[in-house]
Amino acid sequence: MGNPKLIPYELLGKPGGGFFACTECVRDKRTGLLWEGKTCDGGLRDGDRLYTNWGDGRVGDASAYVAQVNAMGLCGFDDWRLPTADELQTLVDYRRPFPGPTIDVHWFPHTWVDLSTLAWRGYWTSDLYADDPVYAWNVNFNYGNLGVNHRNNDGAVRLVRAGS
């Protein structure tokens, strides 16, 4: 698998031994951030689930999802949150060819990629668009770009927390 010093990600150790799977959580060795992994089981954390981003806790909103993941204690933590645009962009790998995904799918399997012509759809961030706060920034892992989306539109979510 190459030089381990060049691999930017690692699995998080479990208390008592073993490791969490990459479908649970992955640590970015460069930033120290801990990222939520995605599943493909149709459950709460399925990579194909999409959410609005009003931040008011309504059903189907990213904020309700954050609350659910924190209540379940993913990887032993209850302080998961939406990433900032800068944080989420650290996962983009611009060396990957178009069409994406422009993310390392070995470490981040089941990443939702919008293959439609809707290039503005992507993964929500916590950053609102300063010129009009009914929009929020998102990262599209098909193109690897940062864009804005109306907060009432659907987008994917990948949570983050500070590393430990």
* CA 57 – CA 63 distance, rounded (Å): 5
Residue 1 has pLDDT above 60, yes or no: no
* CA 121 – CA 39 distance, rounded (Å): 20
**Can you give the pTM of this predicted structure?**
0.92
Report percent pLDDT > 70 for the chain. 91
Counts for the chain of helices (H) and strands (E), in that order: 2, 7
pLDDT category at 163 given cuts 50, 70, 90 is confident
Domains of the chain, residue spans: 1-164
pLDDT category at 151 given cuts 50, 70, 90 is very high
**How far are the Cα atoms of 4, 70, 106 from residue 85, in angstroms, in the given order?**
28, 21, 22
